[in-house]
Amino acid sequence: MTADPETPLRADARRNRDQILAAARVIFAAQGAEVPMEEIARAAGVGVGTLYRRFPDRDALIRAVAVDNFDRVLRDAKAAKDQESSDWDALIRLLHQSMELQLSIQLAMVSPRALAILKSDPAIKALRDDLLVVLEGFVRGAQAEGRLRTDVGTGDVAMLFATLLRQMPGKGHEVARMATRRCIGIMIDGLRADRNGSLPGRALTGADLDPDRPPRP
């Protein structure tokens, strides 16, 4: 039997695409989304022409990295839901795995161009909305279990994610990771149901994070 001559090419194309995404994910997280495309190609071990065949421009690459990243986080969230014994434990697991979310948050913070892509792309919005649905299930379930304070909402938890995952400028990789882990620990302690004290304002929802929806009073 004669082998399909296109099969190796398709496998090579997939491998090249995966290598480019992996390299871009690391470089974007460390240096932002405006890194020269040649540097990304070099880190991926492919030629610049190969990079542009897979991703015709920078916007396409930013979009693909963000979709891949949110998809990873969503899979982690669903796995936590299936594998943990409680919604509180699933939420804690997701918080500790939240390093993956750091890239998409940093892209939005450091690059107006990337922020526009993340806001306007329907695939990214769908993944983001799906993630908020899973997160809302964790929040409501953990509150019903009596383990998460009742005066917080899904939007509060999502905003805490975004706040704690801002990379500290001028710090080494290990210090930044340690600081993030410590912030997660502090955040988890503050979310526990047995904590005293009231919070100002009202609980934030997932809808509060949607820039296309009018603000609630």
For residue 120, give Cα distances in angstroms to 116, 138, 176, 214.
6, 27, 30, 17
User: Is the separation of the CB atoms in 145 and 89 below 8 Å?
Assistant: no
| Domain identity same for 148 and 115 | yes
- The answer to whether residue 216 sits within a structural domain is no
Task: Report the alpha-carbon distance of residue 152 to residue 69 in Å, rounded.
Answer: 26
Query: Quick one: 47 and 135 in the same domain?
Result: no
**pTM exceeding the 0.85 threshold for the entire prediction:** no
Task: Dump pLDDT digits (tens) for 93-114.
Answer: 988 876 666 666 667 666 778 8
Q: Are residues 113 and 50 in the same domain?
A: no
Cα–Cα distance measured from residue 12 to residue 150, given in angstroms and rounded to the nearest whole number? 51
When comparing pLDDT for 183 and 1, which is higher?
Answer: 183
- Domain of 174? 66-209
Q: How far is CA 202 from CA 75, 155, 207, 216, in A?
A: 30, 11, 13, 10
Residues 137 and 160 in one domain: yes
- The tens digit of pLDDT for each residue in 121-179 reads 898 889 888 988 999 999 999 999 999 999 999 989 888 877 766 655 545 667 767 77
Same structural domain, 80 and 186: yes
Helix/strand/coil for 34: coil
The reply to whether 217 falls in a domain is no
